Structure 1
Amino acid sequence: MPLSTILFGILLSSAYGAGFHLFRGGSLRRMVLFLVLAWVGFWVGDTLGWLLGWNFGAVGLLNLGMATLGAALFLLAGDFVSRIKLREENPRRK
């Protein structure tokens, strides 16, 4: 894969992560989480799309449709998991 394709993918997935952070809000730590989730999901979606032969929205060697879907799924799942709060143990139950 050419460097220009990789850079375009990084730029686009970073925009997905930053946009999701603007939409959902949160701290700097959550922004970093969203960026990492978008990067990983983008490249997993791209790779999975090529491996399965699901080729929609291809731009050169980048399977943009599947990459976008992968980033969206990772971002939604990561946001859901990051908002789960652990219950505090009741001190009276000991």
Structure 2
Amino acid sequence: MTVSLAAGMILGFLLATAYGAAFHIIMGGPARQIILYIAAAWIGFAIGQLIGDWLDINVLNLGAIHLFAASLGAWIALLAARWLGVINTPDDAEN
């Protein structure tokens, strides 16, 4: 059981990191934003996983990972991070 849980956590960490990196490649922006996107993907993936487990969403499970719910959470968090990052970017202000 603990080996399965550890493998699921590693897989989730890698998937969320890939989502954050892919989002940065697609949306562009300065290199420092990739940290924001990866952190948002990690948090969103974890929240999506918890919600998928709590609501017993069994769509596209991969072992212990609720892949659909976790991925949806990651992408929603990435869109929110992009939206908040654009609003709070000081580079857009005119001097």
TM range (shorter): 0.7 to 0.9
1:15-41 residue CA offsets vs partner (Å, 9 max, x unmatched): 000000000111222100000000000
| Corresponding letter in the other structure for 1:58 | N
User: Which residue among 77, 82, 92 is the counterpart of 1:79?
Assistant: 82
Q: 1:49 aligned to 2:52? A: yes
User: Which residue among 4, 19, 30 is the counterpart of 2:22?
Assistant: 19
TM-score normalised by L of structure 1:
0.86
| Corresponding letter in the other structure for 2:72 | L
How far apart in 1 are the matches of 2:53 and 2:60?
12
- Runs of at least 4 residues of structure 1 off by over 3 A? none
How far apart in 2 are the matches of 1:64 and 1:14?
14
Secondary structure in 1 matching 2:32 = helix
Please tell me whether Structure 1 or Structure 2 has the larger radius of gyration of its CA atoms: 1
The residue aligned with 1:58 is 61
Structure 2: give runs of 5+ residues left out of the alignment: none
RMSD across aligned C-alpha pairs, in angstroms? Answer: 1.7
How far apart in 2 are the matches of 1:8 and 1:54?
19
Instruction: Quote the sequence identity (%).
Output: 36
Structure 1: give runs of 5+ residues left out of the alignment: 89-94
How far apart in 2 are the matches of 1:3 and 1:59?
14
TM-score normalised by L of structure 2:
0.85
